[in-house]
Amino acid sequence: MLKFFLSIKTSLWLTGLSICVFLIGSFYIPQNLALFSEINDIPLFTWLLENNHHLSKVFWIYLLIALMLLLWINTIVCSIDAIIKRTTWKSLVRVLSPQVLHIAILFVLIGYCVSASAGYKKDVPMNMIDAQKIEGFDLKINNMEFFTNPGENSPRWRVYLNIDSSEHVLELGKPAFYNGVGFFAKSAQKKKMKAIIGLIYDPGVIWELIGAVTFIIGASGVFYTRLSEEQLPGFEKEN
């Protein structure tokens, strides 16, 4: 089993199969737009649970998840093997930098999986004064203001939202964050004094940020190695 995941052929086959599955999905999505229209509006795993009765149309997503998992394992095993067998003090940066890039991608995948399994997105229509309990939060709109900025024709709105007895001001493009959840005033109606409040909880974002920072570190190491090799023609290369 270890040899299977250490083989470059395994990586190539898994990548090729993933591309094929992506192509299959590109044919299914246009033919089932009504089904796939909400796939970006809610976490992936929640969407799959809600549409598991359409297995004949979404089966390719399950295949893709399985292939991504195998690629994830393949990347970890190959990175560990390279670090153990090829790392010396002289080749430390050269050997570790590509592995750091691999680890960065794995962090991003972890973040996406965490968000897909534990995150949520909700749009909540609310009237003035009416209190609602959504995802454990007590929400109530205390007031709404409508205004137009100088040089603009489109009206804007400001929503004073009470979250667990704490008032927060929401504007277009200016959300409020409370206990790791983002609250957005997505739209508002002046005549009916109604608003749609969007809630977004993305617990995987910290993993994605770690992945982004790790990727920059790995890319810097690769750049440093390439620069050193160009400046020092006699730079020792180890296989």
Given pLDDT bands bounded at 50, 70 and 90, which one contains residue 214? very high
- Per the model's pLDDT, the better-predicted residue between 132 and 84 turns out to be 132
Cα separation, 134 vs 181, in Å, equals 12
The pLDDT assigned to 238 comes to 46
Identity at 183, one-letter amino acid code = F
Q: Where are the domains of the chain?
A: 2-119+205-231, 120-201
Instruction: Judge contact between 91 and 224, C-beta under 8 A.
Output: no
Cα separation, 191 vs 127, in Å, equals 11
- Mean predicted confidence (pLDDT) in 148-157: 83
CATH class of 120-201: mainly beta
- Model confidence over 84-119: pLDDT tens digits? 877 777 777 888 888 899 899 899 989 988 988 888
The pLDDT assigned to 196 comes to 93
Contact partners, residue 23, CB within 8 Å, separation at least 6? none
- Mean predicted confidence (pLDDT) in 140-156: 86
- Mean predicted confidence (pLDDT) in 64-75: 89
Which range is least confidently modeled, 2-11, 74-83, 135-144? 2-11
The pLDDT assigned to 167 comes to 93
Greatest mean pLDDT among 96-100, 155-159, 207-211: 207-211
Cα separation, 21 vs 32, in Å, equals 16
pLDDT at 235 over 60: no
Ramachandran area for residue 129 (φ above 0: left; ψ -120 to 50: alpha; else beta): left
Given pLDDT bands bounded at 50, 70 and 90, which one contains residue 222? confident
